[in-house]
């Protein structure tokens, strides 16, 4: 019998104008250890919000694990799954993506690696419904995903200037993706579409160059942020605090409730403290973390 541990990074998606197409892997991780056993299924979970994790067949990691064996036409082995969590649930940091990617990669390893990384990326996107979290979780870095002419996904790596620090503020309340999507309009104006296309392009160049003026302008959005901000208590106050303390800007991470500020490395600690203070003064408990971009993506520990 064999075992493998899969380490999957958290992700932040959208980055403002990159709605449902841009995501970046962050230096915050979930670990999933898969060990073959004689019979049955055993699941343990420790760490951040571990008490909320399903310990049965409804566990998302295990469901992804089963899906891969079904896809390759093999019998699902009996396993023990041990989960170590750092990524909080339903906070816009890709916790479901870590589960899906972790389950698929763990199953693929125990099955002898029948699927390539590209095939796992396609499969994970199929399960999740969109690529912006699962792709960077799997392959690391900052990634832009677009559908190709044959409907397969084209994945483009985006450069991230080393001076830019991603700062995440994680409040003690959650926001489901379904709720965040329910407030979005069914259609958008031509002006809003043009605005977002221009600002996504500017964001890409700003991230590559570290140009402060470009980044400050680029973090605007008209597709999802104006509609979701009202779902996050204290959003305007925290954003103001971040910008006044030196951040280029602040956006919602994924569907929220976590928010993401970008700042030059020399201002990162000041921005961190200002965001924590602003939310704490509103009676919201919050964790603020200065992270970095994870360039490796999912890794294996034997």
What pLDDT score does 140 carry?
Answer: 98
What pLDDT score does 175 carry?
Answer: 82
What pLDDT score does 227 carry?
Answer: 94
What's the CA gap between 174 and 256, in Å, rounded?
7
What pLDDT score does 150 carry?
Answer: 79
List pLDDT tens digits, range 170-194. 999 988 778 888 999 999 999 999 9
Map out the domains of the chain with their CATH numbers.
3-158+294-301 (3.30.230.10), 164-290 (3.30.70.890)
What pLDDT score does 149 carry?
Answer: 81
E-strand stretches of 194-280: 249-252, 259-264
Structure tokens at 141: 């870095």
Structure tokens at 118: 């590209």
Low-confidence residues of the chain, pLDDT below 70? 1
List pLDDT tens digits, range 210-236. 999 999 999 999 999 999 999 999 999
CB-count exposure of residue 237 (10 Å: 0-12, 13-18, 19+): middle
Model's pTM, two decimal places? 0.93
Shortest CA distance to 298 belongs to which of 20, 100, 35?
100
What pLDDT score does 1 carry?
Answer: 56
What pLDDT score does 102 carry?
Answer: 98
Residue 22: which residues within 8 A CB-CB, separation 6 or more?
Answer: 13, 14, 15, 132, 142, 143, 144, 145, 158, 200, 203
């Amino acid at each position: 019998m064999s075992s493998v541990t899969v380490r999957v990074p958290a992700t932040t998606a959208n980055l403002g104008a990159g709605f449902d197409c841009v995501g970046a892997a962050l230096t915050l991780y979930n670990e999933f250890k898969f060990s073959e056993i004689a019979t049955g299924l055993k699941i343990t979970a420790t760490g951040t919000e571990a008490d909320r994790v399903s310990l049965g067949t409804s566990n998302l990691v295990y469901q992804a694990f089963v899906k891969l064996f079904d896809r390759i036409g093999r019998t699902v082995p009996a396993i023990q799954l041990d989960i170590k969590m750092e990524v909080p649930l339903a906070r816009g940091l890709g916790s479901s993506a870590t589960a899906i990617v972790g389950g698929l990669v763990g199953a693929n390893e125990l099955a002898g690696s029948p699927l390539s990384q590209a095939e796992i990326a396609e499969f994970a996107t199929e399960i999740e419904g969109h690529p912006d979290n699962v792709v960077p979780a799997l392959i690391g870095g900052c990634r832009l995903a677009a559908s190709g002419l044959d409907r397969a996904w084209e994945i483009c790596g985006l450069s991230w200037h080393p001076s830019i620090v991603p700062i995440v503020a994680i409040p003690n309340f959650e926001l489901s993706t379904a709720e965040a999507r329910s407030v979005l309009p069914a259609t958008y104006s031509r002006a809003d579409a043009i605005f977002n296309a221009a600002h996504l392009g500017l964001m890409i160049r700003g991230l590559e160059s570290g140009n402060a003026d470009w980044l400050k302008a680029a973090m605007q959005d008209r597709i999802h942020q104006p509609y979701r901000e009202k779902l996050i208590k204290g959003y305007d106050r925290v954003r103001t605090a971040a910008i006044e303390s030196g951040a280029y800007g602040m956006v919602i991470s994924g569907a929220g409730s976590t928010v993401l500020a970008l700042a030059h490395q020399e201002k990162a600690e000041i921005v961190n403290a200002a965001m924590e203070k602003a939310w704490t003064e509103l009676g919201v408990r919050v964790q603020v973390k200065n992270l970095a971009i994870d360039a490796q993506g999912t890794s294996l520990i034997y």
